[in-house]
Copies of this chain bind each other. A is one copy, B any other.
Amino acid sequence: MTGRHLLIIAHGSRRQASNDEVRALGERVRALRDPGIERVEVAFLELAEPGIPEGLATCVAHGAREIIVFPYFLAAGTHVANDIPEAIEVFSAEHPQIKVRLASHLGASSALPMTILDVASQVE
């Protein structure tokens, strides 16, 4: 039990199938059963539930001592630069005992170029 939870934050869409695709991605990450991550949650910035505060609260309710927040965004727009950090700030002010670490957004992650080459090599 590491007490480390992963919260994947997506934008959220009016199109429910897109939100469900994010939830399914959360399931796929969960299914890998990373020994360093005790729990994987998904939350949405807007237009879908749960929102970011609810996602963070779920982690707390399940005993998180550390939460890694992963912005599932391609570009570093205002959501990544401002909205997500602000939501973390509000949470941290209320839960100073829980360490929150903000990961690079997907589009800037160092692993992404290799992932794209993997996809290209696997195409039928």
> Judging by beta carbons under 8 Å apart, are A76 and B31 in contact?
no
| A93 within 8 Å of B (CB atoms) | no
| A94 within 8 Å of B (CB atoms) | no
By Cβ-Cβ distance, the 8 closest A-B pairs, closest first, are: A18-B75, A28-B113, A111-B118, A103-B123, A29-B113, A115-B115, A109-B119, A111-B115
A36-B121, A75-B17 known; A70-B106 Cβ under 8 A: no
| Bound-state Cα–Cα, A117 to B117, Å | 18
Residues of chain A at interface, number, CB under 8 A: 47
Q: How far is the CB of A37 from chain B (nearest CB, A)?
A: 6
Contact among B15, B110, B119 for A106, CB-based, below 8 A: B119
> Which of A5-13, A54-62, A82-90 is near enough to bind chain B?
A5-13
Q: Using an 8 Å CB-CB cutoff, how does the interface string of A9-53 with B read, 1 for contact, 0 for none?
A: 010010101100110010011011010110000000000000000
Chain B residue nearest to A107 (CB atoms) is B21
| Bound-state Cα–Cα, A107 to B68, Å | 20
> Judging by beta carbons under 8 Å apart, are A101 and B75 in contact?
no
